[in-house]
Amino acid sequence: MKTLAGVNPLDNLRIVLVNTTHPGNIGAAARAMKNMGLSELYLVAPLKFPADEATWRASNAADVLERAVVVETFDDAIADCGLVIGSSARERTIPWPLLDARRACEQAYREASKQKVALVFGREDRGLTNEELQKCQLHINIPSNAEYSSLNVAMAVQVIAYELRMAHLANDQPIDVMADWDFPFAQADDIERFYTHLEQTLSEMGFLKADAPKQTSARLRRMFQRTRLDAMEINMLRGILSSAQYWVKKARGENS
């Protein structure tokens, strides 16, 4: 399997579990990961971890649990990732780029040769919030029986881990048209700083108003997420925003 500079893409694929309630699901997810050659597990504020039940359910994948990184927030878990894919089991008010498990994992695997990629799974009872999903470039869906579509989170991890493994074993990977891109894709924390700067600037310009529907910000996020901004493009956009802020302040007589 060809990789970039000797990097094994499986090592750059991160499974993120958000606010997991049952430690057994953490252990089962770790076992599913090791079965398929994945090793990087991040846990966002789990209710109970470490836990004996997690270790027992992990079986011979206790090493994955031992290396698991526990963080406090969703943003902490994805900060250094160039691609974030969130699992979503239901339709959203604002449509988002949505791929089935196979296509999403093929793309995740391709990009993992160049950067960290996070595949994020939400809470057992309600999944990921809309705010969390808006921080993902892609949404992933596992097509299931409409009459009984609910998947246990560890089962969902197993399906995705399997598809990632199949992408790894495939003889002919789809062509990556951005393989020779001149700048790396912007990481999640840089993108979040851009969105904060964008909303601040648009508020100062009077475009965003406190009493206006919040869907405007969500739609702006969706538009930029579709473009897969690189690091240089983020810097350019933030430079434009800073210039706009300067002229807004100058028009108001606030610049010295």
- Distances, alpha carbon 72 to alpha carbons 22, 41, 77, in Å: 17, 14, 8
Last residue of a domain, one of 169, 203, 230: 169
Q: Which CATH number is 141's domain given? A: 3.40.1280.10
Residues 142 and 236 in one domain: no
pLDDT digits (tens, 9 = 90+) for 9-57: 999 999 999 999 999 999 999 999 999 999 999 999 999 999 999 999 9
Least confident segment among 50-59, 97-106, 125-134, 142-151: 142-151
Shared-domain flag, residues 41 and 100? yes
- Same domain? For 144 and 240 the reply is no
Residues 79, 76: Cα–Cα separation, whole Å: 5
Q: What's the pTM value of the predicted model, to 2 decimals? A: 0.78
Q: What is the pLDDT of residue 214?
A: 73
Inside any domain, residue 180: no
Structural domain total, the chain: 2
Residue 1: pLDDT band with limits 50, 70, 90:
very low
Query: Does 174 fall in a domain?
Result: no
Q: For residue 2, is pLDDT > 60? A: no
User: Is 26 contained in some domain?
Assistant: yes
Q: Answer for the pair 159, 15: CB distance below 8 angstroms, yes or no.
A: no
Residue 148 confidence (pLDDT): 82
Residue 123 phi/psi, 5° resolution?
-65, 150
> What contacts 181, CB < 8 A, 6 or more positions away?
230
What is the average pLDDT across 208-216? 77
Q: Which pLDDT score is estimated for 193?
A: 96
The residue type of 38 is L
Q: Which of 169, 202, 218 is the last residue of a domain?
A: 169
DSSP 93: S
pLDDT, average across residues 179-206: 92
Q: End-to-end distance of the chain based on CA atoms, in angstroms? A: 60
Provide the H-helix boundaries in 135-214: 153-169, 188-205
Q: Does residue 20 lie within any of the structural domains?
A: yes
Please check whether residues 17 and 87 belong to one and the same domain.
yes
Average pLDDT rounded to a whole number, residues 68-79: 98
| φ, ψ (nearest 5 deg) of residue 164 | -65, -40
Handedness of CA 174, 180, 186, 187 (dihedral sign): positive
Most confidently modeled of 124-138, 162-176, 212-226? 124-138
- Residue pLDDT, tens place only, 143-188: 888 888 778 999 999 999 999 999 999 855 555 667 778 899 999 9
* Helix (H/G/I), strand (E/B), else coil: 227: helix
Whether residues 144 and 210 share a domain: the answer is no
Confidence of residue 226 (pLDDT cuts 50, 70, 90): confident
Note down the domain range covering 114. 4-169
Confidence (pLDDT) at 97: 81
> How high is the pLDDT of residue 4?
45
Q: Round the average pLDDT of the chain to a whole number and report it.
A: 90
